[in-house]
Amino acid sequence: AQSVAQPEDQVNVAEGNPLTVKCTYSVSGNPYLFWYVQYPNRGLQFLLKYITGDNLVKGSYGFEAEFNKSQTSFHLKKPSALVSDSALYFCAVRDMGAGSARQLTFGSGTQLTVLP
């Protein structure tokens, strides 16, 4: 079975500082990895994805994420945080291995608060 862990329920960072939101995953086959953001009373919005290729992927709003196969991690990063980045962030995985169900599984979410 596939799973995603976001070890931090809450991350606080000062505006202008770099931010990291952590994600680790477990799959039996090749992972396809995603980050989503949710603003209050809204649906989830896609930020970026890793399918194959370069381990550092860039996405919307200046966010990027680094795929680390040996550590089974896919941490979300941004060099300089904005107050408007404050939201709930979800990591997700799809196991693309043979015989897997291939559903999209989400982590528990991390609330990011950027302090002015």
Rounded to a whole number of angstroms, the minimum distance from the CB of residue 77 to another protein is 19
Q: What phi and psi, each to the nearest 5 degrees, are found at residue 84?
A: -70, -10
Q: Does 84 bind another protein (CB under 8 A)?
A: no
Three-class SS of 44-106: EEEEEEECCCCCEEECHHHCEEEEECCCCEEEEEECCCCHHHCEEEEEEEEECCCCCCCCEEE
Residues 38-67 that bind another protein (CB under 8 A): 42-46, 49, 51
Q: Does 113 bind another protein (CB under 8 A)?
A: no
Bridge partners (DSSP) of residue 67 are 74
Residue number with CB closer to another protein (15 or 100): 100
Q: Does 71 bind another protein (CB under 8 A)?
A: no
Where does this chain bind another protein (CB under 8 A)? 32, 34, 36, 42-46, 49, 51, 90, 94, 96, 101-109
